[in-house]
Every structure is written in structure tokens, then in C-alpha cells.
Amino acid sequence: MTSTLKFDAEQLARDYMHKTPGEILKLALNSFENIAISFSGAEDVVLIDMVKKIKPGVNVFSLDTGRLHPETYRFIEQVRNHYHINIEVLSPDHAALEKFVREKGLYSFYKDGHKECCGIRKVMPLRKKLNTLDAWITGQRKDQSPGTRADVPVVEKDPAFSTADRTLIKFNPLSFWTSAEVWQYIRDHDVPYNELHNKGYISIGCEPCTRPVLPNQHEREGRWWWEDATMKECGLHVGNKQKKIA
């Protein structure tokens, strides 16, 4: 297996930018033993489906913010049962969340933005998990958010969760895929998906911060619709904004 210090992410991003998602996944799985797939949406289940055919038994984790739709909780169990896998469900720190809700209530993000709430419900438990890994796999696509994801490479040194003494490698095998390609794969391979997609939802997060989109609206317009459309990241991929600003 490859050491993260010897892993040339920038060169491999160039070498693999025109490779298939399957080839990128093989690179990831052959390079790192201590690796996991982050699962929440349709793209991530496509990755799980692909990985099951390459190397069964890869660690899969999902964030339970405590504010997900009932359909999303059922979806997690559907994926668990369909693929006969264990999904590690990560929860927010109880004390931090209790303090936040006590001081600011349950819907403060409508007034002062979603950053603080997502920080407690998503970023903190994710950071705790990623601190145990050498690499992780995400379902990010370039066209998901023109403001923040247009430059997402297929492999990178994670700019958000690496530290001065520890490099975390991040793989984005679907970076160059479109939404149409994702859904074609789902149909062709009978991949399970969140039933909210049948109700007009495209990008799905927490229930208070997600709504269906209208015809011809971009998928991210259904997330945090009261905020700046070019900066819609919850913190899981905050490095995208850092790169965009840079």
C-alpha cells in the first residue's frame, strides 16, 4: 500500500482525469487499505455499487445529522440491505449539539447562515472519522455546484482535513460525470435511490434546508435557498471554496 507522503496526488489527478470511475476506484483501493466511502446520495450509491464489484468489504460511513428526512433514513437501510454491507452511521457530539440548540434554537440558520449548524452536525463528526483514515472516496461532480465544484479533481490532497503532520487523500471518481450519466448508471444497474427523487428533490440534505427544485433550476438551488448561490457547501467539502477563492 502507498504512503500518503509518497502519493503524488497532483500528477495522478492529471494522469487519471480521463480515466473511468472504475479505474479511479481501482487506483484508490490498490493504493490505500485504510480508506472509506462517504455515503449520502445517489452518486455515492453508484460508487458503492462499483466498489462491490472491485473489492467487497470497503468501509462505508454516513452522517446522521438528526435532521434528515424520514425517506433518507429508510434509504440508508435500503442500501445496507441491498448490498449486505455495514454502514457506519456517525452522529453529532451530544454536548456540543445540546449547547447550540439551547442557545440558538432549532432554526437559527435561516437568520445567520448554515455554517455553524453544519459545523456541529456534519463537520465535527466527519473530522473525527477522517482522522482515522488515510484516504476517502466521495461522489462529488464538477457540475453539481458551479460556484464551488467546477475545479474538483479526480484525486487530491484534501485541503480541508489534512493537517501539518498528516496528509489525507481524497478521491472523486465521478468528478467528470454528469447527473444524466449518474442516473443512467442507476437505471442500468438497478441501483437503489432515495424516494425523495421521485418528489422533485435532486440534491438532498437535511429536511429544513432542502426543497424540491422547479423545472430547469439547478440542483443546488434546492439547498440553502436563502443564501448566496455560489457558496453552497456545508463544510464537508469546504476545500472547494478555498480553491475557488485562491
**220: confidence class by pLDDT, cuts 50, 70, 90:** confident
**227: confidence class by pLDDT, cuts 50, 70, 90:** confident
Separation of alpha carbons 185 and 218, rounded Å: 21
Per residue in 134-192, pLDDT tens? 999 999 998 876 655 567 999 999 999 998 889 999 999 999 999 999 999 999 999 99
**10: confidence class by pLDDT, cuts 50, 70, 90:** very high
Per the listing, cell 493504493 goes with: 31
What's the pLDDT score for residue 241? 46
Q: Please report, rounded to a whole number, the percentage of residues in the chain having pLDDT higher than 90.
A: 75
* C-beta of residue 37 within 8 angstroms of C-beta of residue 59: yes
Per the listing, cell 457547501 goes with: 233
Per residue in 38-57, pLDDT tens? 999 999 999 999 999 999 99
Q: Is the pLDDT of residue 239 over 80?
A: no
Dihedral sign from CA coordinates of 224, 184, 69, 51: negative
Q: Is the pLDDT of residue 230 over 70?
A: no
Joined together, the cell numbers standing for residue 160 give: 480541508
Q: Which residues contact 32 (CB under 8 A, 6 or more apart)?
A: 1, 2, 4, 134, 135, 169
Among residues 117, 206, 209, 234, the one annotated as catalytic is 234
The whole domain housing 143 covers 4-245
Separation of alpha carbons 114 and 9, rounded Å: 31
Mean local confidence (pLDDT), 87-111 = 96
Q: Which residues contact 38 (CB under 8 A, 6 or more apart)?
A: 44, 61, 62, 63, 126, 136, 137, 138, 139, 236
Per residue in 114-127, pLDDT tens? 999 999 999 999 99
Catalytic annotation on 206?
A: no
Per the listing, cell 441501483 goes with: 191
| Angle (deg, nearest 10), helices 179-189 and 42-54 | 50
What's the domain count of the chain? 1
Instruction: Render the burial of 127-166: b for 16+ CB within 10 Å, e for the rest.
Output: eebbeebbbbbbbbbbbbbebbbeebbbbbbbbbbbeeee
Beta strands in the chain (DSSP E): 35-38, 59-63, 87-90, 135-137, 155-157, 169-171
What's the pLDDT score for residue 245? 36
Q: Please report, rounded to a whole number, the percentage of residues in the chain having pLDDT higher than 70.
A: 88
Q: Is the pLDDT of residue 234 over 60?
A: no
3-state SS record for 34-46: CEEEECCCHHHHH
Separation of alpha carbons 30 and 236, rounded Å: 25
55-59: long-range contacts at Cβ-Cβ below 8 A with a sequence spacing of 24 or more? Answer: 55/29, 58/29, 59/35, 59/88
CATH for 73: 3.40.50.620
Joined together, the cell numbers standing for residue 137 give: 472516496
What's the pLDDT score for residue 149? 53
The mean of the pLDDT values for the chain is 89
Per residue in 64-76, pLDDT tens? 999 999 999 999 9
| Residue type present at position 208 | P
